[in-house]
Amino acid sequence: MNPITIAGGGLAGLTLGIGLRQHDVPVMIWEAGHYPRHKVCGEFISGRGQDTLQKLGVLDRLGGRWARDAAFYVGADATRVALPQPALCIARQVLDAFLAQEFRRLGGELLEGRRWHGDFAQPGLVRATGHRIEPVVNGWRWFGLKVHARGVELAADLELHLRRDGYVGLCRLPDRVNICGLFRTREPIHDLRQTWRRYLLDGLSVREVDESSFCAVAGIDLTPHARTGTGELVIGDALTMIAPATGNGMAMALEAAENATEPLARYARGDAAWETTRQSVAAQCRQRFAGRLRVAAQLQRALFQPVLRRTLLGATRCCPAIFRQLFLQTR
């Protein structure tokens, strides 16, 4: 049987590894970091990502808590809605560590603290290395921040606070609140570790912050295109990213892994050539994600235009079906 090597042990890489091990495929994952670890992430899974975890047989073992409503804020103006489907809220370091343990339990080889430096286009290699870095996109530098806190006053299980040049999402976890934000700036920020609070916590009522949970990521590119013409087999954020405001980023990473599992299992058994496998995975990803990426890109642009976002939230308040439609179209 042909072995599979996965570069990157995040959500997509670990989920793919588990799925392949359930097909008895020999798998090695190279992960530059260590578990558990904090990552900039909304820390909730909605939509089809839950189905992926259910098919793997792990959803009921993850713990976490369920979110059933959301609130959107422009200043003090709030719009509260019920979620069309409950979202599973789980801390990223808990989820990653669980998936890593499950992969090892199934006989997978996981190399922590080891970054892949080989050829990403070689047969049997899957790239799941996280988002591609673009320092400047259309004149803007995009960066993300995240921290855990306690004693946070929430009006809903999930909240999104819209700012002039960014937005902050709050997610109610079992014993804390995840605070995660996406921001843009024209100029580089050199002192973010000292100034992150004014970006992430401004206007929020927070009693206690877990400083050890703080993390940041920069060079984010939310352009709705997929890196499929490189000769590589790519999944997860390395393939494409959806606007965080949709709340579908984690689910898409899980879905991309599920999408690649069967084609890679066929390759491993010798039933398909590598190039056929790579093209099949790329085509299925385009079919599955293209529509939601287009809608998400339009939504992202609207949220950064004050008139459009107030109009959108006002319309959602008057007609909750608008939120439901946007929710479903980005999943």
Look at residue 119 in the predicted model and tell me its pLDDT: 94
Tokens of 98: 């669980």
- Which residue, 149, 174, 141, 146, is CA-closest to 64? 174
Look at residue 227 in the predicted model and tell me its pLDDT: 59
Residue 229 has pLDDT above 70, yes or no: no
Tell me the pLDDT band of 98, cut-offs 50, 70 and 90.
very high
What pLDDT digit, counting tens, does each position of 57-76 carry?
Answer: 999 999 999 999 999 999 88
Question: Across residues 127-139, what is the average pLDDT?
Answer: 91
Look at residue 281 in the predicted model and tell me its pLDDT: 95
Look at residue 298 in the predicted model and tell me its pLDDT: 92
Residue, of 228 and 152, whose pLDDT is higher: 152
CB-count burial class (<10 Å; 0-12, 13-18, 19+) for 167 = buried
Q: Quote the mean pLDDT of the chain.
A: 93
Instruction: Answer yes or no: are the C-beta atoms of 162 and 74 closer than 8 Å.
Output: yes
Question: Across residues 109-132, what is the average pLDDT?
Answer: 95
CB-count burial class (<10 Å; 0-12, 13-18, 19+) for 320 = middle
Look at residue 38 in the predicted model and tell me its pLDDT: 95
Look at residue 226 in the predicted model and tell me its pLDDT: 56
Domain ranges of the chain: 4-134+222-329
Residue 212's Cβ-side half-sphere holds a number of Cα atoms within 13 Å equal to 3
Look at residue 24 in the predicted model and tell me its pLDDT: 98
Q: Model's pTM, two decimal places?
A: 0.94
Look at residue 225 in the predicted model and tell me its pLDDT: 61
Mean pLDDT lowest for which of 92-101, 246-255, 303-312?
303-312
What pLDDT digit, counting tens, does each position of 134-177 carry?
Answer: 899 999 999 999 999 999 989 999 999 999 899 999 999 999 99
Quickly name the fold that domain 4-134+222-329 has: FAD/NAD(P)-binding domain (3.50.50)
- C-alpha distances in Å from residue 141, one per residue of 134, 166, 188: 8, 11, 7
CA gap 136, 142 in Å, rounded: 7
Instruction: Answer yes or no: are the C-beta atoms of 258 and 55 closer than 8 Å.
Output: yes
Residue 35 has pLDDT above 60, yes or no: yes
